[in-house]
Amino acid sequence: MKFFKLSILFSLLLFVFSCKNGIVENPGIIPQPNFISYQKGTFEINENTIIVIEESKEGQWIAGELKSFLKDHFNLNLGVSSVVQDNAIHLKLSEDLEGKEAYQLEVSEKGVLINASSYQSIFYGLQSLKQLLSPKMIVSKPILNYVTIKDSPEFGWRGMMLDVSRHFLEKDSVKKVIDILAMHKMNKFHWHLVDGIGWRIQIDKYPELTKKGAWRKVKEFKKPWEDFEATYKDGDGEIYGGYYTKDDIREIVAYAAERYIDVIPEIEMPGHSEAALQCYPEFICENTVNTGVYCAGNDDSFEFLQNIIDEVVALFPYDYLHIGGDEVGKEAWLNCKKCQQRMRDNNLQSGEELQSYFVRRMEEFIHSKGKKLIGWDEILEGGIPERATVMSWRGFDGGIEAANAGHDVVMSPATPLYFDYNQGKSEFEPPSWGGYNNLLAVYNFNPVPKGISEDKKHHILGGQANLWVEQIESLTHIQYMMLPRLSALSEALWTNSANKNEDEFIKKIDVHFDRLKALGYNFSWSALSPDYEISYDKVKKEFTLQLDNELGIYDIRYTLDGSEPSINSELYSKPIHYSSPITIHAQTFRNGEAIGFSLKKMFSTSFIDSAKITYINPYDATYSAGGDLALFNNRYANPRGDDSNWQGFPHKDFEIIIDLGTPNDLSYIGLNFFQHLASTSVMLPTEVTIAISKDGNDYQTVYNQALETIHDRNPIIKRIETNFEKQNLTFIKISAQNRGVLPDWHIRKGDAWIFVDEVSVR
């Protein structure tokens, strides 16, 4: 584990010092320009400064954006002119620059000049200028150092996907998401409008898609995708949903276009279509249930989708239309007479080849409409249409295969670009789908992995993050999952790798936090939340606790008495050594303010070299957590089923006997159990018993409790703990009763699992 980066802290102090007179040496720009050089001298924007730009509608809109920024930040009301003059902010179109996204920004004694190849690149230069003049709490006066910036992006596809099917997002909130993309020079907004549990776009030819497919019944103790049932807005009981009218779509597309962002619609096919098929069941395979898959043997299925696409392409004036194509179940096809006939007629040997037929047929239609088909990497299976573009989400392999075969590729691997994954390790993180994609992992993302032939690398268009909203219900939660990770991604996609520097990014993101705060965004401080590492010295019989945060900056203060840390608590400056149990409570402080989530853990010392554990029922090899002593390694599992610190027991009870090796005076025993009904088969035990013994023969029960069944679908960590009169003991017996099989009301079938972690004693 790294310690605090003192050079970064020192640079931050110098930066703050340089801000006292309103002159900022280098507030940092995200994404990092590909060339930037500061010179001696400053220019101050004042009430006589003029914004110079040609008299076009597009130019005047950009000038208005700059006017509003200067008015809000410095109470300056600048005039706009098309006449070139000194003491001006000149926004100039130039034919000398190559590429529609290239710009140059120069600050000199004459003023500010943004020289750009297009209005789009003027807009990007404006974003850089805004960052040089913000945040307001640091840049108190509109004073700019002389600087020269020459900049253009490394990749042409810099995007983010937002799912609005699982949870609907109102029109004005979608615009706020677009604002965040725009300030980071992102240029693609992939809009996931359709999925299995919600249809969100008006289609005139098929009105039931929004009359019914856009609404669902809310069912007690069930997540939206569990036992999904489309209904009508005015139906009985609690109803959830919403959709965008065509006018809404046009408004959002126009809003994004003003900010030079292409909106890429996604219309899922052939799978993930339960909502549409509940509205129009005639497109389900015959004699099968609705699995969310269109019947590939029914020509009417294709006509239905082609009619939808006819209306969709009229709303989105950009090159691409996304068809999904992921996670398509083939069972219905393989049991459908029409699908089997289709396979025979076209000499198709598998369900994958039938899916390829489906995608190829739709690609031909989409191409006839002047659009390019793009789909998730499953469209590679069974053969891919010649003109198709692949979006690689299951790692890099699909993208590598597609690029080497001559297909354009957008890299969006779940690790590290699924923004519905946690960005911090704290158990207090808001609901997420699971997984862990931290800030610096996103920053170090490279869309061009090894394995792509040199002459094929140009097929990598760029990359994008994906934000699925199964667990995310509000704009504030969306902002939290986006930021600051989108800031890191913007630099990964804009800046040439030779010009990237992680330490410099950490300094810049620290300033950027204040920009985001000033804009009122609900961003995450997870990268500054304390984390820990424990080591044990067998010779000294001493434990060592180290504290840090991901970015390695700012003070961590802590207590060992159970109290909440304050700015006056002990400053962490060196590892903490201990040989008896401790409870650490740690918190990061930035400029005197507590930020991020606190760390509160108890660490035992009784499980040293002589301790042994006997399992009455073995743990599952897939969920071993590292082996027999994993329950005593001082690493607490987080509330995620994929956390490798959980030890798993299917069907049978959890029963262990701990031999401490030597007698210990103890008065407390505790351990954690996990449950996540929405996405795992892991449930809390029905009963837990803890007993203690001096000799391993005669046991005294110190805890016995039946646990109430909890129907909450969200992740739960249940802490079981018992305090008892201090006793000298050597053996601990713990048992937790497994319910054996999942109850009938559970969405899954089969064995119930118990997940357990970290037995603590003192």
% of the chain residues with pLDDT over 90: 89
Q: For residue 501, is pLDDT > 80?
A: yes
Q: Burial, 738: exposed, middle or buried (Cβ in 10 Å; 0-12, 13-18, 19+)? A: buried
d(Cα 353, Cα 334) in Å, to the nearest integer?
12
Q: Burial, 406: exposed, middle or buried (Cβ in 10 Å; 0-12, 13-18, 19+)? A: exposed
- Split at pLDDT 50, 70, 90, the class of 609 is confident
456-468 pLDDT, tens digit each: 999 999 999 999 9
d(Cα 512, Cα 495) in Å, to the nearest integer?
17
pTM score > 0.85 for this model?
Answer: yes
Nearest 5 degrees, angle CA 128-CA 130-CA 135? Answer: 120
DSSP SS3 for 415? helix
Q: C-alpha dihedral over 447, 450, 456, 457, to 10 degrees?
A: 30
Residue 380 tokens read as: 């590679």
573-607 pLDDT, tens digit each: 999 999 999 999 999 999 999 999 999 999 988 77
Q: Is the dihedral of CA 429, 431, 436, 440 positive or negative?
A: negative
For 447, phi and psi rounded to 5 degrees? -70, -15
658-667 pLDDT, tens digit each: 999 999 999 9
What pLDDT does 7 receive? 43
CB 700, CB 692: distance < 8 Å: yes
What pLDDT does 136 receive? 87
d(Cα 720, Cα 703) in Å, to the nearest integer?
9
User: What value does the mean pLDDT take over residues 535-552?
Assistant: 94
Identified catalytic residue from 195, 377, 429, 550: 195
Please give the C-alpha separations between residue 67 and each of 111, 139, 258, 514, 751, in angstroms, as whole numbers: 16, 17, 16, 21, 63
Q: For residue 5, is pLDDT > 60?
A: no
Amino acid at 612: K
Side-chain-side CA neighbours of 349 within 13 Å: the count stands at 3
What mean pLDDT, rounded, does the chain reach?
Answer: 94
d(Cα 400, Cα 18) in Å, to the nearest integer?
46
What pLDDT does 10 receive? 43
397-406 pLDDT, tens digit each: 999 999 999 9
Q: For residue 1, is pLDDT > 90?
A: no
Please give the C-alpha separations between residue 286 and each of 111, 170, 348, 380, 724, in angstroms, as whole numbers: 71, 37, 20, 27, 64
Residue 195 annotated to the active site: yes
- Split at pLDDT 50, 70, 90, the class of 533 is very high
Residue 95 annotated to the active site: no
Identified catalytic residue from 238, 303, 327, 331: 327
Q: For residue 12, is pLDDT > 60?
A: no
Least confident span in 62-71, 288-297, 621-630: 621-630
CB 140, CB 178: distance < 8 Å: no
- Split at pLDDT 50, 70, 90, the class of 25 is low
Cross-sheet strand order for the sheet of 542-548: 531-537, 542-548, 576-578
DSSP strand pairing (157-163 vs 460-467): parallel
What pLDDT does 326 receive? 96
What pLDDT does 21 receive? 43
Q: Is the dihedral of CA 156, 158, 163, 164 positive or negative?
A: negative
Residue 327 annotated to the active site: yes
Q: Which residues pair with 324 in a beta bridge?
A: 269
d(Cα 79, Cα 46) in Å, to the nearest integer?
11
Identified catalytic residue from 167, 192, 272, 407: 272
